[in-house]
Structure 1
């Protein structure tokens, strides 16, 4: 078994194209998509076109959900830009996506945790805004009762590979299109990878013998950054150009 894991594209069509080319170079056509496909000040329309063409097994992220649940007049700026670029067929596609999925019988897909698309799984945010790795006990608590050998999650944009005590593996592939961001839930904090590259993962093997390869793919991030700046999003422009939110 061999497949790619994509997540958190956030409307960055340039990064998605680079990842798809990298997959082709590896002779890899199968992939899964862990959601948050469109929201951002970039090119949600082109991203949607490519994703619908590829028809990868896909689950819905929290920002995908906002696009179909929130009134456009009340959307956050990144969601509103994406919403305005999408056609009704794209919104219908989002509405039909499940929040979780199991593939190959033992591979479980979620965006945040198995029960929440808005909760970090492999990281924790302290009350002072500092971000730390979740402890093994904290990670295992979220996996309690989950019958899967390989668990794929996203949402934090940070590539991680965690082995639980019982041998199950939890993998976050990182973000294809958004290497750094800020958020105010549960308190204000930054998530940042320190690289502008597009991130995804390649999974190979079988239950009990999973091999995880993280791919960090250079692309025309300067063009993506310039587009964000043109649309008045200096925060996104800086993050896309550097992989850092602050500084």
Structure 2
């Protein structure tokens, strides 16, 4: 079994195309899992949605996907609102049809056992929240590797012992950790958004930045070899400059800076 794992496309259709081309070049992928946050952002939400709608992939909603459709002020961000204004009725319906990241069957391997074999679990953030990091902790103005007790507390009793591979997204940071007991936890990183910042209260931070430090699109390929899951974390170059220019055209120079550099802009 070989599985490609994607997350956090954020409407960056050019980055998604580069990932698909790289995936096709490598070949041999049995299934593709998309962990959510499909269209939010000032880029190409409609094209991205229409492409993803046509794929026979296993796809779940992230935290932004329902927010794109939520019109309440203070809930939907400017990136969500831009995407909402670009979508058509079929793409909106598709967003509402995505599997909920909090569906317990995703965490026990039951929902897609016929395609993944029953030992693979998925979530967007953690099994208990789509807006919580699993493998990282926000601290001060940055993000660090979570400590083992932090990860264990976030997993709780949601993921049973027979799960050998758990795929998560949300933090946009590529990472793979093998936990006590042997389960491999994989975050494929972000396809389309290499840096962002968050002004929301966390236990150790009221504001933090997440930065990959390069503009590449990211994804992962996990496969079973000799009965164990292992993973390749992949970084793919693409034409980020044209995407950055589109962000500027749509009024988001902060996105343009992040797309070009993998860092958030600083005030001088």
Same topology, TM > 0.5 = yes
1:32 corresponds to which residue? 33
SS of corresponding position for 1:93:
helix
When residues 166 and 208 of structure 1 are mapped into structure 2, their CA distance, relative to the original with a 3 A threshold, is: farther
- 5 Å matches for 1:1-247? 1-29=1-29, 30-71=31-72, 75-100=76-101, 101=106, 102=109, 103=112, 104=116, 105-126=118-139, 128-145=140-157, 146-147=159-160, 148-186=163-201, 187-205=206-224, 209-247=228-266
Aligned equivalents of 1:47, 1:134: Cα separation in 2:
32
Q: Distance in 2 between matches of 1:130 and 1:26?
A: 34
Q: CA separation in 1, counterparts of 2:18 and 2:27? A: 14
The separation in 1 between residues aligned to 2:35 and 2:156, in whole angstroms, is 20
Indicate how the Cα distance of structure 1 residues 207 and 136 shifts in structure 2: closer, same or farther if over 3 A, else same: farther
> Residues of 2 paired with 1:11 and 1:228: CA distance?
11
* Contact in 1 for aligned 2:142/2:210 (Cα 8 Å): no
More displaced, 97-106 or 210-219? 97-106
- State the 1:92 CA deviation: 1.2
TM-score, scaled to structure 2 = 0.87
Q: Which runs of 4+ in 1 moved over 4 A?
A: none
Report which stretch shifted further, 100-109 or 51-60. 100-109
CA RMSD in angstroms comes to 1.7
Contact residue 8 and residue 176 of structure 1 kept, 8 A = yes
Q: 1:113: Cα distance to partner? A: 0.2
Give the SS at the match of 2:242.
Answer: helix
Distance 2:66 2:76 in 1: 11
SS in 2 for 1:54: coil
User: SS in structure 1 opposite 2:213?
Assistant: coil
Q: Is the 8 A contact 1:112 1:121 kept in 2?
A: yes
Tell me if structure 2 keeps the 8 A contact 1:4–1:31.
Answer: yes
Q: Structure 1 unaligned runs (5+)?
A: none
Deviation of 1:124 after TM superposition, in Å, equals 0.8
What is the distance in 1 between the residues matched to 2:5 and 2:17? 15
Paired residues, number? 246
Check conservation: 1:149, 1:207, Cα contact below 8 A: no
